[in-house]
Amino acid sequence: MLLPYLTSAFPGTGGALRRVPEDFVVDEVPAYAPSGAGDHVFVHVEKRGWTTAAVADALAAALGIAARDIGWAGLKDRHAVTRQWLSLPPPVTPEAARAVALDGVTILDAVRHGHKLRTGHLRGNRFTLRVRDATSDAAARAEAVLAALAAPPGAPAWYGEQRFGARGDNVAQGLAVLRGERRGGPPKLKRLLISAVQSSLFNAWLRARLDDGLYARVIEGDWLERRGSGGTFSTTAPEVDEARVAAGEVCVTGPMFGPRMRAPAPGTAAAAREAAVLAAAGVDVALFAAAGKLAEGTRRALGVPVADAAVRAVEPGVIEVSFTLPAGAYATAVMREVMKVDGDGPGAAPANAEAADAADADADADAAERAPDDGGEPAT
């Protein structure tokens, strides 16, 4: 699907992302620090050329423990420099963890804690990204775009290309699973494929909101999310809640279709818009119910808060852009707004942003084949 720009009034920087891994640096922002006491060991690792799951497997082999007993809060990409925490089970000691030597992996710290690290136990991620071959005034352009994205509800929460597979056929495969036309494969892979269908429908819903001038508006029947707590509620006073959206207190949410999703009340404007998305895709919402736990459904905020943004000119044609995003948000979705390398206003995602997103497919593949034992959608 061709995605529009929220910041089409601002010119982009041009350029390219991720020429080398050091151009894409990710620092996990944990939900809490290890306590210093307990049977488990939290290790802070810096990695290059490794997926999170591959690091876990290597640590398990080196320490003589089961890989399934290693926990992490979110999956991190292979083609970047990333720093994150993993948890190791007893009888591993901090000293043993620090002694592990892996090419491309540095153990930055090892601290005891009382329990395993679980998926989603993180506040977000801090990104430090270099754009090369940018325009001569790229720093000023990036600052203008990021200032616009700082206003609530933030950057559009598009699902990136990696959600739809390297060949772009995850949606078709997911529909085959939902319709009972594809029966093989592990449940985690089926869940990944079905999530591509849900994500594609969310993107279609979000695009319609932007196209119709409803990105920062609240309409009858909208479900809203409270920023911070994550609690959701159905609006009873759209005008009042629209002011709360502008203040950054709440955000409109879109559909990730499934039987457990909280749907707008029948007959409301919001319900009509969600039904139109399904109809345009030729998808019956009952298909998700038939998939059971593989497609339970939820709601997703339509915007992503972009916090603590900064821009630095490194040298002519090279800038460094940094910002913090909540877990599950794609940095490349922010950078496509900053760069706009296709040069045609609303249109396809920039070619190099798509390449960056495609590289992130490692994380989704790992989630399908080997997720932490607490389940759930992988956080990033």
146 inside domain:
no
List the CATH number of the domain containing 84: 3.30.2350.20
329 inside domain:
no
343 inside domain:
no
On whether both 300 and 169 belong to a single domain, the answer is yes
169 inside domain:
yes
336 inside domain:
no
On whether both 30 and 114 belong to a single domain, the answer is yes
- Write down the pTM of the prediction: 0.84
| pLDDT given at position 37 | 98
On whether both 102 and 185 belong to a single domain, the answer is no
145 inside domain:
no
Closest to 146 measured CA to CA, from 249, 12, 347, 313: 12
| pLDDT given at position 351 | 34
| pLDDT given at position 147 | 97
| pLDDT given at position 1 | 57
Q: Single out the residue in 255, 270, 304 at which a domain terminates.
A: 304
Which residue in 23, 27, 77, 366 is the catalytic one? Answer: 77
| pLDDT given at position 132 | 98
Annotation says 23 is catalytic: no
The separation between the first and the last C-alpha atoms of the chain, rounded to the nearest angstrom, is: 23
Q: Single out the residue in 304, 338, 371 at which a domain terminates.
A: 304
| pLDDT given at position 377 | 32
On whether both 62 and 160 belong to a single domain, the answer is no
Pairing of strands 298-301, 71-72: unpaired
Other Cβ atoms within 10 Å of 244 Cβ, number = 18
Could you report the average pLDDT of every consecutive run of 10 residues in the chain (380 residues)? 89 95 96 97 97 97 98 94 98 98 98 96 96 98 97 93 86 94 86 96 97 97 93 97 98 97 98 98 94 94 96 97 92 93 42 36 37 34
314 inside domain:
no
Number of domains in the chain: 2
| pLDDT given at position 342 | 58
Kindly give, in sequence order, each residue whose CB lies less than 8 Å from that of residue 27, ignoring residues fewer than 6 positions away: 82, 83, 125, 126, 127, 128
On whether both 271 and 167 belong to a single domain, the answer is yes
- DSSP bridge pairs for 44: 85, 109
Query: What's 295's DSSP letter?
Result: G
Q: Which helix (H) or strand (E) holds 325?
A: strand 318-326
185 inside domain:
yes
Query: Burial of 213 by CB count in 10 Å (0-12 exposed, 13-18 middle, 19+ buried)?
Result: exposed
Q: Are 135 and 309 in contact (CB under 8 A)?
A: no
| pLDDT given at position 366 | 37
On whether both 252 and 207 belong to a single domain, the answer is yes
Q: What is the extent of the structural domain holding 267?
A: 155-304
On whether both 100 and 165 belong to a single domain, the answer is no
Q: Single out the residue in 241, 272, 304 at which a domain terminates.
A: 304
- Backbone phi, then psi, for 125, in 5-degree steps? -140, 140
On whether both 196 and 88 belong to a single domain, the answer is no
On whether both 175 and 299 belong to a single domain, the answer is yes
On whether both 110 and 169 belong to a single domain, the answer is no
| pLDDT given at position 204 | 97
| pLDDT given at position 154 | 96
On whether both 164 and 278 belong to a single domain, the answer is yes
On whether both 32 and 164 belong to a single domain, the answer is no
